[in-house]
Amino acid sequence: MPTAIKCERARSFLRMHRASSLHATRTRSRAWCVTHALVAASVALATPASGENLLNSSEKSAPLSGKASASASGRDQLTVVPAVGGSTDIGVAGGYFAAFTRNQAGYTPYVWNIESAGIISFGLKNGSVDLPYIDVFGELTVPRLLGRPVDLEIRPSFTDERALYYYGMGNASSAALPSGESTSYLQYGRIHPSLLADLRFRIIDHFAAISGLRYTASWLDIPAGSRVRAA
Q: Where are the beta strands (DSSP E) in the chain?
A: 77-87, 91-102, 112-125, 128-130, 133-142, 150-165, 187-191, 194-204, 207-216, 219-221
pTM of the model: 0.67
97 residue type, one letter: F
Cis status of the peptide bond prior to 178, with omega within 30 of 0: no
Higher pLDDT, 144 or 79: 79
The domain locations on the chain are 70-230
Beta carbons of 216 and 193 less than 8 angstroms apart: yes
Higher pLDDT, 125 or 1: 125
Give pLDDT tens digits for 15-63.
Answer: 544 444 434 444 444 433 333 333 333 333 334 445 566 666 666 655 5
pLDDT for 56: 66
Q: Say if residue 11's pLDDT is above 80.
A: no
Residue whose C-alpha is closest to residue 185's, from 207, 214, 164, 210: 164
Contacts of 10 (CB under 8 A, 6+ apart): none
